[in-house]
Amino acid sequence: MDTISIKTRDSYNVYLGKGILQGLPGLLNDTSYEAISGRNLIYIVTDRNVSRHYLKGIISGLKKNGYKIKYSVFSPGEALKNHQSLFKLLQTMVKRGLTRDSAVIGLGGGVIGDFSGFAASIYMRGCGFIQIPTTLLAQVDSSVGGKVGINLKAGKNLVGSFYNPVFVLSDISTLHTLEAREIICGLAEIIKSGLIFSKELFEDVLDFFRD
């Protein structure tokens, strides 16, 4: 498992590897994570597509390590990011006994990360949040930017905040379930970031198209 440190005002680590989902309980038990360690109630937010692959295994591993688990499974897609769904989630979190000392895990792609992260950022003025991105685009973009939010009828991501996760767990094994189009979207974001970061790479690409 590789570790990438994201240096911001609230620095955090991105853990990257293959087959590392099983290491989640160990990371949660790490006493260096003061915002998470010792919390016994974990709330997982995911969608139907992702839950059928990973939810059962994650819950089993966490329960074996003494955590109490609650979860919500939503329909997949951008339509989830609306205020009605957000208020429904927040009300459910209250009913299921989450406190400020609980932690929310966003298990899924960018939509789930944005949606669950925003809920975590405003629930009782902020509770612990962990990103487990399961798409390539989310792993290289939305899970590491700290931006969370929902949409309005007037446009996308018009309501939101900057709320860094305690850590990000990116297991590349989850990419095996994706369709080719989703992989291409992630690769396009990687190329875009590379072009912005590297003047030489940008010029090489321009030369390629000129030729």
User: What would the pLDDT profile of 125-175 be if each residue is shown by its tens digit?
Assistant: 999 999 999 999 999 999 998 999 999 999 999 999 999 999 999 999 999
Structure tokens at 146: 């700290």
pLDDT given at position 32: 60
- Residue found by looking up tokens 């998470």 in the block: 36
Among 63, 68, 69, 57, residue whose Cα is nearest residue 19: 57
CA dist 161 and 114 (Å) reads 10
Q: How far is C-alpha 131 from the chain's CA centre?
A: 3
Burial of 60 (0-12, 13-18, 19+ CB in 10 A): exposed
CA dist 35 and 48 (Å) reads 28
pTM attached to this predicted model: 0.91
CB environment 67-88: b (16+ within 10 A), e (fewer): bebbbbbbebeeebbbeebbee
CA dist 144 and 138 (Å) reads 8
The torsion defined by the Cα of 31, 27, 56 and 184, in degrees rounded to 10, comes to 150
Contact call for residues 46 and 111 (beta carbons, < 8 A): no
* Domains (range + CATH), the chain: 2-178 (3.40.50.1970), 180-211 (no CATH)
pLDDT given at position 9: 85
pLDDT given at position 30: 77
What size, in residues, is the chain? Answer: 211
Low-confidence ranges of the chain (pLDDT < 70): 31-39, 205, 208-209, 211
**Tell me, what DSSP letter sits at residue 61?**
H
pLDDT given at position 174: 97
